[in-house]
Amino acid sequence: MLCSLKNITGSRGVTRRFRPAGLASFIFVMFVAVAAGTVSADEIKISVVPSEISISAFYDGAHIKAAGTIPAGADVVIRITGEGEEVHLKKKGKVGGLLWMNTGKLTFKNVPAVFMIYTTPDVADRVNHETINLGYFSAKDQIELEPENEAKEALFKEFVKLKESERVYVIDTGSVKYTSGQAGPRQFEADIAVPPKMKPGEYVVEAYAVKNDHIVARADTALVIKLVGFPAWIASLAFGHELLYGIMAVVVAVAAGLLMGVVFKSKGGAH
């Protein structure tokens, strides 16, 4: 019995002696195989200037510049997205086949507050390709719609049109410019308009390198929008001192009413 145990122990010892070499060879082979089909993270970079935007009393949007590097032979898709939010909308329809009226309420849950894409025309035509899938409908599965029995896809298309009219959903094909050729790593830049309706918060700016209808690399950075000055003070009152904010709102409304009365009276408009 002892000999048998020693033989088993010896066999295990031999196994342990040769396993590291075999494992090292296996890892090396796998590493070479994987490396052959992937792109180093160093080959894709993105930065945004400025990376922080301040909303003051006279804020009316801003401009940022996104720039970076992608691998040779690839094209870039820049995507800006915000956190999911809940949006309440009214559904309109024809009543009696004649009049357009509100026929119900819709709630979109976990829908991206912002969805902005910047790329070249050729890539924009394929941005919804199943192997790229960076377009609006890439977020469709994460969105919840109430009531659930509504036609989700058709209503989401209408929702996209609404957001496009507010310029927070964008597919821009004219802003991306390349500053180097196809031979080596490509430098890109894009001038991006930040619409006034982008709310304060932190947004993700992503760069995707697309080659042969596949995403081969990705990098991201942050864009922060924050309130400063008078808007920040008003917001702090609204969410931290509700009573004082309510009193101020009443005082401002009364003062505005009295001022308008005086103005119209002086012009002879009140009788």
22-76 tens-digit pLDDT: 444 444 334 433 343 444 556 899 999 999 999 888 889 999 999 999 999 999 9
Token digits for 210? 């697309």
Q: Is the pLDDT of residue 119 over 60?
A: yes
pLDDT at 139: 87
Which of these, 162, 68, 53, 70, lies nearest to 108 by C-alpha position?
162
CA angle 161, 162, 167 (to 5 degrees): 90
Report all structural domains of the chain as residue ranges with CATH numbers, in order of start.
41-226 (2.60.40.10), 231-266 (no CATH)
pLDDT exceeds 80 at position 231: no
Q: Cβ neighbours of residue 184 under 8 Å, at least 6 residues apart?
A: 72
Gyration radius of the chain over CA positions: 29
pLDDT value of position 182: 58
What is the pTM (predicted TM-score) of this model?
Answer: 0.70
Query: Is the confidence at residue 7, as pLDDT, over 50?
Result: no
What does the pLDDT read at residue 43? Answer: 86
